[in-house]
């Protein structure tokens, strides 16, 4: 059954309260019942105690200690709540009885004769509470004194109480259920408002927020959480838009160059040398676009979490290999240095780490002049093992240090010096570093050079 939240709350609370009320009513009824019984039994006990020492059976005859008193006493008329008394012999035959019994007799129950405890019984249409005690003469049992009191009035009181409780029970539960449903409905009103507002927010009005509540209760926290989520989504969407527009801009430039070159080429017949020159230019534009597309693909791949699988990589061998490869490819010496001689194993994805180090080394080569050193260094610091890429190149100005990891960001000097690049390399590095649970820092001084450090966390 698909019940609403308020319905569920109201039902659950009502069910629990129903049990509690049932228990309380049961206790009330039980206490009243016991109190009533106790009061009657106390009367019966007083009565038996009073007569115990007044009545004797001697040789089958009743003797009264104070006959006049006995005759004067109660039991003569029918009072409102009379006490009935009857004296029986050992066989239960009636010997005397109080006048208020008129033509009736109390019944003798031999099995209850000794216990001296009262019990409830039916006498015809009436209910009685009766007590029996033996009458002893010189140590010998001579007969029994039966004392009884009507149980009609207490029974009426008890059944009235029971009817009242039974009537109250459903009434209380129904009103409780309705009240709880109303209050549950009231307390989820703010949630309804949140749902309504959240449903209205789409990509086109992602800047709108759920109105915050004044109280810092759960609803307030929920509102803050949803608003926080919306802000993060909005930021992500803005970054995405910025990225797409930057990417198209980056691709449009070489495409425009390519188109321009080709248009110039077909305008009239050219010499083979001119054709060759223009085709070379076109190929350069195509290379630039290919490089950008490859980097975009690399970035997309890191976003798909492909580089998540980790393995044990030995840093010294790994860095030595990369330094050699780059030295051969780039025609620049990449010097490998290590502060540690023992092998250092780190858990990471080798492909990702290769891409990180290659990107940093390529930048170090690109942004430094031919005669300077490019160093790939391994160190073991307090924070963990570190791979450093050090150059003595153009450096990065302090205000640009925070921007160089943004997609498509390039320092002005890099653009002006016509150093090829798309501004995607460090964005890829940052993504891979974050995915691998690593850290990257950069220290740089304009005109002096830069040091990029990739830090591997200590094993826990
Ligand atoms: P790209 O090199 O293709 O421009 P990157 O994302 O790799 O893109 O780098 C972004 C910018 O950061 C570069 O344009 C450059 O200005 C700066 N940069 C990166 N590495 C270095 C470095 N080693 N020395 C000086 N500047 C650097």
Tell me, using a 6 A CB cutoff, whether residue 404 lines ligand 1.
yes
Tell me, using a 6 A CB cutoff, whether residue 295 lines ligand 1.
no
| Strands, sheet with 119-123, edge to edge from the N-terminal-most edge strand | 94-97, 83-89, 140-150, 126-137, 119-123
Q: How many helices (H) and strands (E) does the chain have?
A: 10, 14
pTM: 0.57
- Measure 423 CA to ligand 1 centroid, in angstroms: 7
pLDDT at 335: 95
- Measure 279 CA to ligand 1 centroid, in angstroms: 29
Task: Please tell me whether residue 427 adopts helix, strand or coil conformation.
Answer: helix
Tell me, using a 6 A CB cutoff, whether residue 407 lines ligand 1.
no
Tell me, using a 6 A CB cutoff, whether residue 393 lines ligand 1.
yes
- Measure 360 CA to ligand 1 centroid, in angstroms: 9
Q: Which residue has the tokens 């630039």?
A: 288
- Measure 453 CA to ligand 1 centroid, in angstroms: 15
With a cut of 70, list the residues of the chain below it in pLDDT: 1, 67-80, 113-115, 302-308, 460
pLDDT at 1: 64
Task: Please tell me whether residue 129 adopts helix, strand or coil conformation.
Answer: strand
- Measure 389 CA to ligand 1 centroid, in angstroms: 13
Q: Which of 247, 408, 423 to mutate to test the pocket of ligand 1 (most atoms within 8 A of CB)?
A: 423
Q: Which residue has the tokens 């549950």?
A: 184
- Measure 190 CA to ligand 1 centroid, in angstroms: 50
- Measure 438 CA to ligand 1 centroid, in angstroms: 20
Tell me, using a 6 A CB cutoff, whether residue 154 lines ligand 1.
no
The rounded distance, in Å, linking the Cα atoms of 329 and 148 is: 119
| Cα distance from N-terminal residue to C-terminal residue, the chain | 49
Tell me, using a 6 A CB cutoff, whether residue 421 lines ligand 1.
yes
pLDDT at 307: 55
The rounded distance, in Å, linking the Cα atoms of 80 and 125 is: 18
Contacts of 387 (CB under 8 A, 6+ apart): 315, 319, 357, 376, 377, 378, 453, 454, 456
Helices (H), 331-384: 350-366
Cβ atoms of 133 and 144 within 8 Å: the answer is yes
pLDDT at 69: 63
Tell me, using a 6 A CB cutoff, whether residue 449 lines ligand 1.
no
pLDDT at 286: 92
Cβ atoms of 60 and 53 within 8 Å: the answer is no
Instruction: Kindly report, residue by residue over 69-89, the tens digit of the pLDDT.
Output: 666 555 555 556 788 889 998
Which residue's alpha carbon is at the smallest distance from atom 13 of ligand 1?
Answer: 410
Which residue's alpha carbon is at the smallest distance from atom 3 of ligand 1?
Answer: 421
Tell me, using a 6 A CB cutoff, whether residue 388 lines ligand 1.
no
- Measure 458 CA to ligand 1 centroid, in angstroms: 29
């Amino acid at each position: 059954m698909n019940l609403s939240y308020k319905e569920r709350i109201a039902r659950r609370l009502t069910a629990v309260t129903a049990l509690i009320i049932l228990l309380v009513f049961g206790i009330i009824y039980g206490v009243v019942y016991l109190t009533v019984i106790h009061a009657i039994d106390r009367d019966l006990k007083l009565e038996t105690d009073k007569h115990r020492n007044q009545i004797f059976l001697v040789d089958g005859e009743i003797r009264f200690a104070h006959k006049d008193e006995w005759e004067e006493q109660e039991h003569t008329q029918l009072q409102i709540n009379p006490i009935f008394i009857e004296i029986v012999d050992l066989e239960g035959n009636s010997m005397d009885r109080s006048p208020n019994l008129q033509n009736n007799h109390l019944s003798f129950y031999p099995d209850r004769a000794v216990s001296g405890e009262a019990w409830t019984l039916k006498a015809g249409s009436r209910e009685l509470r009766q007590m029996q005690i033996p009458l002893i003469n010189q140590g010998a049992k001579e007969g029994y004194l039966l004392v009884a009191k009507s149980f009609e009035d207490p029974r009426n009181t008890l059944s009235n109480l029971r009817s009242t409780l039974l009537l109250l029970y459903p009434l209380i539960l129904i009103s409780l259920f309705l009240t709880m449903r109303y209050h549950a409905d009231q307390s989820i009103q703010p949630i309804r408002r949140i749902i309504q507002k959240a449903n209205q927010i789409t990509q086109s009005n992602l800047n709108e927020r759920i109105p915050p509540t004044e109280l810092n209760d759960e609803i307030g926290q929920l509102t803050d959480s949803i608003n926080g989520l919306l802000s993060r989504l909005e930021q992500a969407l803005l970054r995405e838009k910025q990225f797409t527009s930057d990417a198209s801009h980056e691709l449009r430039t070489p495409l425009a160059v390519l188109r321009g070159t080709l248009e110039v080429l077909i305008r009239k017949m050219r010499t083979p040398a001119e054709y060759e020159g223009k085709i070379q230019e076109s190929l350069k534009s195509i290379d630039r676009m290919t490089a950008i597309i490859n980097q975009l693909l690399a970035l997309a791949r890191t976003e798909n979490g492909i580089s998540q699988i980790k393995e044990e990589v030995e840093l010294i061998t790994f860095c030595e290999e990369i330094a050699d490869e780059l030295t051969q490819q780039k025609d620049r010496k990449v010097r490998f240095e290590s502060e540690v001689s023992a092998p250092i194993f780190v858990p990471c994805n080798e492909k990702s780490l290769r891409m990180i180090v290659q990107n940093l080394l390529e930048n170090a080569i690109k942004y430094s002049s031919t005669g300077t050193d490019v160093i790939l260094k391994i160190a073991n610091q307090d924070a963990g093992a570190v791979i450093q890429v050090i150059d003595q190149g153009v450096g990065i100005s302090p205000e640009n240090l925070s921007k160089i990891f943004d997609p498509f960001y390039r320092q002005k000097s890099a653009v002006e010096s016509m150093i090829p690049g798309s501004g995607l390399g460090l964005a890829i590095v940052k993504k891979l570093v974050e995915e691998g649970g690593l850290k990257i820092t950069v220290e740089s001084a304009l005109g002096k050079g830069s040091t990029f450090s990739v830090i591997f966390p200590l094993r826990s």
